[in-house]
């Protein structure tokens, strides 16, 4: 039985197969409409979510399966003090696969060790968010056709942004991918990303503060929200929340084929006037999230695929 805790749990070849499957699902949804009849997905969300939870639920329903779960810790027995290990033991009796989001780093991993069904990490604190990465990779591949030789800018809260950590880990496995890490000093990537992921893999990267300086060279700009809920004090958050605002004027500095991605939710970091720019890909990206989660559910459940 396989779980998904980090994007590295899938090899580059497996990722390719998964993205091909997502592509086929997009083209021929009817072929997959009953493939999970009688199967159940549990969504155990101890932290707020819109896209991740609903796209998982939509994914399972599109496959003919059913969904059970909770959308906040308050409405689960966690509020009575139950451990994730006990919860998953019980949920294993009710469902075939589970997606878990938790504010504590490593909680889905702890759950996976006690689980008799596949567990998918749907975001653990400021650590990892592998299914967002699958979404991001599918989006980049469909826009650019490949990953090799791309210069990727990641901008905003690189310290607490789990989507950033997972995306970097996944992308360093391709050839000659370069990173420009754009953040205020206080929100730079954690040292394990800099040392154990980037430097160890001999990946070219630079850390800069000004978005304007970085923009002209980028092939992809991955914007992120300042992660309010991970700050220890309100003052620091207020100081940094509007550090970056991508607007039409700044977009003039970017290449004509530089696409903007954002895991969403957006707060102020992308002005709404940018939404109509053909390079704004963040809503399309959210749509890809459903296809890739459908492909992931089929893969982890080892469902026999239609020809």
Active site amino acids: 51-52, 80, 101, 129
Told to check if 132 binds ligand NCD by CB under 6 A, we report: yes
Of 194 and 230, the one with the shorter C-beta distance to ligand NCD is 230
Told to check if 3 binds ligand NCD by CB under 6 A, we report: no
**Chosen residue from 51, 89, 241, 255 binding ligand NCD by CB under 6 A:** 51
Told to check if 230 binds ligand NCD by CB under 6 A, we report: no
Site size for ligand NCD (CB under 6 A): 12
User: Considering the complex, what minimum distance in angstroms separates the CB of residue 85 from ligand NCD?
Assistant: 23
**Chosen residue from 40, 102, 141, 225 binding ligand NCD by CB under 6 A:** 225
Told to check if 7 binds ligand NCD by CB under 6 A, we report: no
**Chosen residue from 139, 163, 166, 285 binding ligand NCD by CB under 6 A:** 163
Told to check if 180 binds ligand NCD by CB under 6 A, we report: no
Of 3 and 129, the one with the shorter C-beta distance to ligand NCD is 129
Nearest CA among 117, 109, 25 for reference residue 64: 25
User: Considering the complex, what minimum distance in angstroms separates the CB of residue 237 from ligand NCD?
Assistant: 13
**Chosen residue from 7, 69, 118, 263 binding ligand NCD by CB under 6 A:** 263
How would DSSP label each residue in the chain? ---BSSGGGS-HHHHHHHHHHHHHHHH-GGGGTTTTTT-EEEEEESS--SHHHHHHHHHHHHTT-EEEEESSGGGSGGGGT--HHHHHHHHTTT-SEEEEEESSTTHHHHHHHH-SS-EEEEEETTTB-HHHHHHHHHHHHHHHS--TT-EEEEES-TTT-HHHHHHHHHHTTSTT-EEEEE--GGGPPPHHIIIIIIITTT--EEEES-HHHHGGG-SEEEE----GGG-S-HHHHHHHTTS--B-HHHHTTS-TT-EEE--S--SSSB-GGGGGSTTB-HHHHHHHHHHHHHHHHHHHTTPPPP-
Told to check if 127 binds ligand NCD by CB under 6 A, we report: no
Told to check if 264 binds ligand NCD by CB under 6 A, we report: yes
Told to check if 293 binds ligand NCD by CB under 6 A, we report: no
Q: Determine how many CB atoms are found less than 10 A away from the CB of residue 72.
A: 13
**HSE (side-chain half, CA atoms, 13 Å) at 298:** 29
Of 19 and 122, the one with the shorter C-beta distance to ligand NCD is 122
Of 35 and 42, the one with the shorter C-beta distance to ligand NCD is 42
Cis peptide before 287 (omega within 30 of 0): no
Told to check if 52 binds ligand NCD by CB under 6 A, we report: yes
Told to check if 123 binds ligand NCD by CB under 6 A, we report: yes
Told to check if 139 binds ligand NCD by CB under 6 A, we report: no
Which residues of the shown chain bind ligand NCD in the complex (CB under 6 A)? 51-52, 123, 129, 132, 162-163, 225, 227, 263-265
């Amino acid at each position: 039985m396989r779980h998904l805790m980090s994007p590295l749990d899938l090899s580059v070849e497996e990722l390719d197969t998964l993205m091909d499957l997502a592509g086929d699902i997009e083209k021929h949804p009817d072929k997959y409409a009953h493939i999970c009849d009688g199967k159940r997905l549990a969504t155990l969300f101890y932290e707020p979510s819109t896209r991740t939870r609903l796209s998982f639920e939509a994914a399972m329903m599109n496959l003919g399966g059913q969904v059970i779960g909770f959308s906040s810790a308050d409405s689960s027995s966690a509020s009575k003090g139950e451990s994730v290990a006990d919860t998953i033991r019980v949920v294993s009796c009710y469902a075939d696969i589970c997606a878990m989001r938790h504010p504590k780093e490593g909680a889905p991993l702890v759950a996976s060790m006690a689980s008799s069904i596949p567990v998918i990490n749907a975001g653990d604190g400021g650590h990892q968010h592998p299914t967002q990465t699958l979404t991001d990779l599918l989006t980049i591949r469909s826009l650019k056709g490949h990953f090799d030789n791309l210069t990727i800018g990641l901008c905003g809260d690189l310290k607490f942004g789990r989507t950033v950590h997972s995306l970097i880990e996944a992308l360093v496995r391709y050839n000659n991918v370069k990173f420009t890490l754009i953040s205020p000093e206080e929100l730079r990537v954690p040292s394990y990303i800099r040392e154990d992921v980037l430097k160890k893999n001999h990946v070219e990267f630079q850390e800069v503060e000004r978005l304007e300086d970085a923009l002209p060279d980028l092939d992809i700009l991955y914007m992120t929200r300042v992660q309010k809920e991970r700050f220890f004090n309100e003052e620091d958050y207020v100081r940094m929340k509007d550090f970056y605002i991508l607007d039409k004027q700044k977009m003039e500095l970017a290449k004509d084929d530089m696409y903007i991605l954002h895991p969403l939710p957006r707060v102020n970091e992308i002005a709404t006037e940018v939404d109509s720019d053909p390079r704004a890909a963040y809503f399309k990206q959210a749509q890809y999230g459903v296809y890739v989660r459908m492909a992931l559910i089929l893969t982890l459940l080892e469902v026999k695929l239609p020809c």
